[in-house]
């Protein structure tokens, strides 16, 4: 199915919503289904649109091929960074982050599971990457359960009579990655898993979904925070915790940490004492398996794209990887005084960044949720100059503008269906080196991030002409 056929499929889906009864029943089922399944980001329902993202098999294969090649290049780059302290200085790790690299996590991947945030246009002509979430990618369970809900919606049920729609589940791959890491670590039997992050987060409902999924697969898991941990006699335990089933136990012994908390937040919260925190001590002693490990920081820094696109480092990569980087990774540099290259020609970086505001963005080296992102073409020149000055003082990158993807999506507004243009990103999940499943986020503003507010997610389905036999 090419771009024309995909557009036709989308139009056919939207036509189903012209029937007021179908539209109302679909909206009510979506609203109630999210409430029943706890599909919320904080107090906001995850999906505020009535259509999933449709991809052709050809588009999905393009995503898989491009992402898998770049992730293979990233893994090799991570190996090089680990061995080369001079090169490592270019991604601006803090001294504490450097200290945490020393411990071998017990398995080879720097990022055992990750997510590439991309823009894939409707016609499949442009696929460009904007960020690599190599540390703590969210939304795997959200997207799986949202897919199950969308499959049951009245409009989708009717649509499936004319088209074959295939969901892209990923929870099983996350569990497999955790268990593979556990086995490589030297663990035996089923590990007791701690799902670790701060309390009161908008993603807590996803932790509950994972906890139930693990339990359904015979694995005990507790949700807890870093403040709830103690390390005694070579054993990490949670002294306060949330389990799927009631328990009278006063402690939860931990074998494997499914680490959702960000390393940078741990280090800021505990300051000078961070390396003496029970989690850090247990990790340093090899008393726990942790996924992702602290070595994920090597790849999670946004400056990693500056190394991928540095002409001087291209020999690290295979010809296929170099071609994928050239096709999909935008030119990126750390904001630092001095000369660099752009399209093979020498430039003064700061002068270039000041002059080319209309096609650049500035991003903090280690933030998430769209925090601190400055979009050049939406920023007055004087504000851009101030942002460049700030970026010179705090580790930041400057990145070339990419082609943004747009699609039409239907939503229920004041009781009627309205179809509006949304920015669409395609964020494939990566397990080991393989792509399985995809997050899709929608927005009406350029800063496309659900954390930043005003956005929606929607599940991703492959679509092919003809109903399933």
* pLDDT tens string 272-320: 999 999 999 999 999 999 999 999 999 999 999 999 999 999 999 999 9
Across 156-176, average pLDDT:
98
Residue 453 burial (CB count, 10 A): 14
Select 332-400's CATH number: 3.30.160, 3.10.450, 3.30.1490, 2.50.20. Answer: 3.30.1490
Across 263-273, average pLDDT:
96
Q: What is the pLDDT of residue 140?
A: 98
**How far is Cα 27 from Cα 11, in angstroms, rounded to an integer?**
18
Cβ-proximal residues to 206 (8 Å cutoff; 6+ apart), any chain: 138, 139, 141, 142
Calculate the CA 232 to chain-centre distance. Answer: 34
Listed by start position, the domains of the chain span 3-300+405-465, 332-400
Across 242-262, average pLDDT:
95
Residues listed for the chain: 469
Cβ-proximal residues to 203 (8 Å cutoff; 6+ apart), any chain: 41, 138, 197, 260
10 Å CB burial of residue 177 (0-12, 13-18, 19+) is buried
Phi, psi angle pair for 398, to nearest 5°? -115, 135
Is the CB of residue 195 less than 8 Å from the CB of residue 210?
yes
- Given pLDDT bands bounded at 50, 70 and 90, which one contains residue 1? low
What would you measure as the largest C-alpha separation in the chain, in angstroms? Answer: 67
pLDDT at 64 over 70: yes
User: Which run of H or of E encompasses 67?
Assistant: helix 57-83
**How far is Cα 213 from Cα 48, in angstroms, rounded to an integer?**
25
Q: What is the pLDDT of residue 42?
A: 86
Q: What is the pLDDT of residue 469?
A: 62
Q: What is the pLDDT of residue 446?
A: 57
User: Which run of H or of E encompasses 36?
Assistant: helix 20-37
pLDDT tens digit sequence for 96-141: 999 999 999 999 999 999 999 999 999 889 999 999 999 999 999 9
What's the mean per-residue pLDDT of the chain? 94
Cβ-proximal residues to 260 (8 Å cutoff; 6+ apart), any chain: 136, 138, 195, 196, 197, 203, 207
pLDDT at 449 over 60: no
């Amino acid at each position: 199915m090419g771009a024309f056929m995909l557009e036709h499929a989308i139009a056919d889906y939207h036509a189903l919503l012209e029937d007021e009864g179908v539209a109302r029943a679909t909206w009510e089922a979506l609203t109630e289904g999210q409430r029943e399944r706890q599909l919320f980001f904080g107090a906001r329902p995850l999906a505020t649109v009535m259509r999933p993202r449709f991809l052709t098999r050809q588009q999905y294969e393009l995503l898989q091929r491009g992402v898998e090649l770049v992730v293979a290049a990233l893994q090799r780059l991570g190996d090089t960074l680990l061995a080369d302290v001079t090169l490592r200085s270019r991604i601006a790790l803090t001294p504490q982050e450097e200290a945490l690299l020393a411990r071998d996590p017990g398995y080879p991947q720097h990022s055992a599971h990750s997510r590439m945030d991309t823009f894939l246009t409707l016609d499949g002509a442009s696929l460009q990457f904007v960020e690599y979430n190599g540390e703590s990618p969210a939304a795997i369970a959200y997207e799986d359960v949202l897919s199950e809900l969308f499959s049951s919606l009245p409009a989708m049920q009717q649509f499936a009579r004319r088209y074959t729609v295939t969901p892209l589940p990923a929870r099983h791959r996350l569990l497999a990655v955790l268990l593979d890491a556990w086995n490589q670590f030297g663990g035996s039997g089923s590990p007791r898993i701690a799902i670790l992050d701060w309390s009161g987060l908008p993603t807590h409902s996803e932790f509950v979904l994972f906890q139930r999924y693990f339990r359904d697969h015979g694995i005990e898991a507790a949700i807890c925070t870093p403040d709830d941990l103690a390390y005694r006699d070579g054993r990490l335990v949670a002294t306060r915790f949330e389990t799927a089933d009631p328990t009278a136990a006063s402690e939860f012994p931990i074998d494997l940490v499914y680490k959702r908390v960000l390393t940078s937040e741990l280090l800021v919260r505990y300051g000078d004492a961070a390396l003496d925190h029970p989690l850090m001590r247990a990790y340093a002693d090899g008393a726990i398996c942790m996924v992702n490990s602290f070595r994920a920081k090597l790849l999670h820094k946004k400056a990693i794209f500056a190394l991928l696109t540095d002409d001087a480092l291209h020999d690290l990569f295979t010809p296929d990887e170099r071609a994928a980087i050239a096709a999909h990774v935008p030119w990126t540099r750390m904001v630092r005084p001095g000369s660099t290259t752009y399209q093979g020609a020498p430039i003064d970086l700061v002068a270039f960044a000041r002059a080319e505001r209309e096609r650049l963005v500035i991003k903090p080296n280690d933030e998430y949720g769209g925090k601190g992102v400055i979009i050049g073409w939406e920023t007055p020149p004087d504000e851009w100059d101030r942002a460049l000055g700030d970026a010179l003082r705090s580790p930041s990158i400057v990145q070339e503008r990419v082609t943004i993807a747009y699609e039409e999506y239907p939503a229920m507004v004041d009781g009627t269906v309205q179809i509006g243009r949304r920015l669409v990103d395609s964020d494939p999940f990566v397990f080991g080196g393989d792509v399985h499943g995809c997050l899709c986020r929608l927005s009406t503003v350029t800063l496309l991030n659900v954390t930043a507010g005003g956005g929606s997610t929607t599940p991703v389905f492959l679509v092919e002409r003809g109903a399933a036999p």
